[in-house]
């Protein structure tokens, strides 16, 4: 990647192998082997998820899933994945990530309109994602530069304040561009690679498994996002982020520029939010004003913590659970004893948000490693322990 890397490789390659054997550093070979496994498993999941969730006999009937929700879950999953780099690994709690999610969603939408009306072409999904993400990165750089002057709760409050400022900016002064309270409706998305209509069905077995081209595109972005995130966690950045979370002062005093690493963590998480926000616009053909409100920042916090901050897949699981409650559980009319007609609770769906709130409080209180952490503990109990070697790279 950089000259330094090559230097290090050139100088260190031969002797360091010796070191690894002689001195007993075993971990890295495992790391290397694990990367394709993680990416491959993600790809496999993405491939079969819509089928299982929305179309598979019996299972989809129980889950009540549908294609559009599967897509939305992956989009929020990308957002949560990036947010976790900041919260779970660097230990910074931002309450302003709606700015990057909603901001990139607007940027993507406005760009698509500009392309269609002024440049005379329908912007394809790839370029829309690029533009939305670039916007989020620049915004994150600016807001991060300002917010990171303060630590702890003040950082949380500053991010919150700046994001709210974005919300009110697009609600009134910029309503000529953003559509104000009504949200942005003039989204025009062209075909994928200029060829494939996003809403059309994929050919043959892919169509059965994944459904539409839109899902395939979002799925591909998900796999890429997981691969990039996993690589970041196994890069020097991953080490430095965790070091900052563990002991910020010590990190500074070994000679690392903590401030710049924090800023990078903020910008990288903003970039993931940018990818997700742009995909959200492409998926819904619409940008609600709500996407910038601070409760949206709160949702991503809940998803990440509920699923398990500080793990690779936990926050994505959290996103799935949250959206499942919001879209499926909320529609359940009465809670019945399974396979009978005995009603336990009428109007059960109304309680979805309350249930999530209670679940969230319980997780914060008793299981700081989230639902994913619970799974890991369970697995350790069953297999009799040592998952450290398996999860070492992204512990």
Partner 1 sequence: MALLETDGLVKEFGGLVATDDVNLTVNEDERVSIIGPNGAGKSTLINLITRRLDPTEGDIRFKGESIVKMEPHEVVQRGVSKSFQTASIFPDLTVRENAEIAALAAERGSFGFDFLTHRRKLHGVHEVAADTLDAVGLLDRAETPAEDLPYGDKRRLEIGIALASEPDLLLMDEPTAGMSPEETRSTVDLIEEVKERMGLTFVLVEHDMEIVFSISDRIVVLNRGRVIAEGTPDEIRGDEQVQEAYLGGVEL
Partner 2 sequence: MSLLADVLTVLLNGLQQGAIFALLAVGLSIILGTLKFVNFAHGALYVVGTYTGLLVAHEIALTSGKLQSWGFTSLGLDLGFFAALVVVPLFVFVVGLGMERFVARPFYDRPDTDQILVTFGLAIVVQELFRILFGSNSLPFDQPAWAAGPIALPVVGNFSQWRLYVIAITAVLVLVVYALVEYTDFGLVVRAGTRDAEMVRLLGIKITRPYIVVFGIGAALAGVAGVVGGPLNVVNPTVGTDILVPAFLTVVIGGVGSIVGAVIGGVIFGLTTATLVAVAPAWSQIGLYAIAAVILLTRPQGILGNEEVAP
* List of residues contacting partner 1 (CB under 8 A): 1-2, 4-5, 8-9, 11-13, 15-16, 19-20, 23-29, 31-32, 35, 228, 231-232, 234-240, 242-243, 246-247, 249-258, 260-261, 264, 268, 388, 392, 395
Inter-axis angle of helices 236-246 and 258-284, nearest 10: 110
Residues 6+ positions from 121 with CB-CB distance below 8 Å: 115, 190
Helix (H/G/I), strand (E/B), else coil: 345: strand
Nearer to partner 2, 58 or 354 (CB): 354
Query: Considering the complex, what minimum distance in angstroms separates the CB of residue 359 from partner 2?
Result: 9
Q: Which residues pair with 192 in a beta bridge?
A: 196
Residues 6+ positions from 212 with CB-CB distance below 8 Å: 67, 198, 199, 200, 201, 202
- Token pair listed for 147: 């917010």
Which of partner 1, partner 2, none has residue 173 at its interface (CB below 5 to 8 Å by kind)? partner 2
Which whole-number Å values give the CA distances from 222 to 79, 199, 279, in the listed order?
A: 10, 18, 10
- Token pair listed for 345: 């609770």
Residues 6+ positions from 395 with CB-CB distance below 8 Å: 310, 388
Site of interaction with partner 2 (CB under 8 A)? 91, 93, 95, 146, 149-154, 156-158, 160-162, 164-165, 168-169, 171-173, 175, 294-295, 298, 301-302, 305, 347, 350-351, 353-354, 356-358, 360-361, 364-365, 368
Which of partner 2, partner 1, none has residue 207 at its interface (CB below 5 to 8 Å by kind)? none
Rounded Cα distance between 391 and 171, Å, is: 44
Rounded Cα distance between 10 and 21, Å, is: 19
Query: Considering the complex, what minimum distance in angstroms separates the CB of residue 236 from partner 1?
Result: 6
Q: Which residues pair with 136 in a beta bridge?
A: none
Query: Considering the complex, what minimum distance in angstroms separates the CB of residue 32 from partner 1?
Result: 6
Query: Considering the complex, what minimum distance in angstroms separates the CB of residue 324 from partner 2?
Result: 17
Which of partner 2, partner 1, none has residue 119 at its interface (CB below 5 to 8 Å by kind)? none
Rounded Cα distance between 264 and 90, Å, is: 10
Query: Considering the complex, what minimum distance in angstroms separates the CB of residue 124 from partner 1?
Result: 26
Query: Considering the complex, what minimum distance in angstroms separates the CB of residue 317 from partner 1?
Result: 21
Nearer to partner 1, 17 or 350 (CB): 17
Rounded Cα distance between 270 and 163, Å, is: 12
Nearer to partner 2, 26 or 355 (CB): 355
Query: Considering the complex, what minimum distance in angstroms separates the CB of residue 154 from partner 2?
Result: 7
Place of tokens 């690779």: 312
Which of partner 1, partner 2, none has residue 298 at its interface (CB below 5 to 8 Å by kind)? partner 2
Which of partner 2, partner 1, none has residue 366 at its interface (CB below 5 to 8 Å by kind)? none
């Amino acid at each position: 990647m950089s000259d330094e890397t090559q230097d290090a490789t050139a100088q260190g390659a031969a002797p360091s192998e010796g070191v690894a054997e002689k001195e007993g550093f075993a971990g890295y070979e495992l790391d290397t082997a694990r990367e394709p496994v993680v990416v491959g498993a993600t790809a496999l999941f993405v491939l079969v998820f819509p089928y299982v969730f929305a179309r598979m006999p019996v299972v989809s009937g129980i889950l009540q899933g549908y294609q559009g929700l599967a897509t939305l879950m992956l989009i929020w999953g990308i957002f949560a994945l990036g947010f976790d780099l900041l919260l779970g690994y660097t230990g910074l709690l931002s309450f302003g990530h709606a700015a990057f999610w909603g901001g990139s969603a607007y940027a993507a939408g406005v760009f698509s309109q500009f392309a269609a009306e002024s440049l005379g072409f329908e912007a394809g999904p790839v370029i829309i994602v690029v533009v939305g993400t670039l916007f989020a990165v620049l915004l994150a750089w600016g807001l991060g530069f300002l917010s990171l002057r303060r630590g702890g709760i003040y950082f949380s409050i500053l991010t919150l304040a700046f994001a709210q400022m974005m919300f009110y900016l697009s609600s009134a002064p910029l309503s000529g561009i953003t559509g104000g309270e009504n949200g942005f409706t003039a989204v025009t998305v062209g075909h994928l690679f200029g060829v494939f209509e996003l809403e059309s069905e994929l050919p043959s077995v892919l169509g059965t498994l994944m459904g539409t081209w839109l899902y395939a595109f979002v799925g591909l972005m998900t796999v890429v996002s997981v691969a990039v995130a996993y690589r970041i966690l196994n890069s020097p950045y991953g080490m430095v982020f965790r070091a900052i979370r563990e002991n910020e002062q010590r990190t500074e005093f070994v000679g690392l520029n903590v401030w710049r690493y924090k800023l990078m963590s903020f910008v990288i998480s903003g970039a993931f939010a940018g990818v997700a926000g742009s995909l959200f616009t492409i998926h819904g053909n619409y940008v609600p004003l709500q996407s910038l409100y601070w409760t949206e920042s709160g949702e991503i916090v809940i998803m990440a913590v509920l699923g398990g901050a500080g793990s690779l897949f936990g926050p994505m699981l959290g996103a799935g659970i949250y959206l499942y409650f919001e879209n499926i559980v909320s529609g359940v009319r009465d809670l019945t004893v399974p396979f009978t007609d005995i009603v336990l609770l009428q109007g059960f769906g109304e309680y979805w948000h309350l249930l999530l709130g209670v679940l969230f409080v319980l997780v914060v209180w008793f299981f700081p490693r989230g639902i994913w952490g619970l799974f890991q503990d369970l697995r350790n109990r069953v297999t009799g322990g040592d998952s450290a070697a398996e999860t070492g790279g992204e512990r």
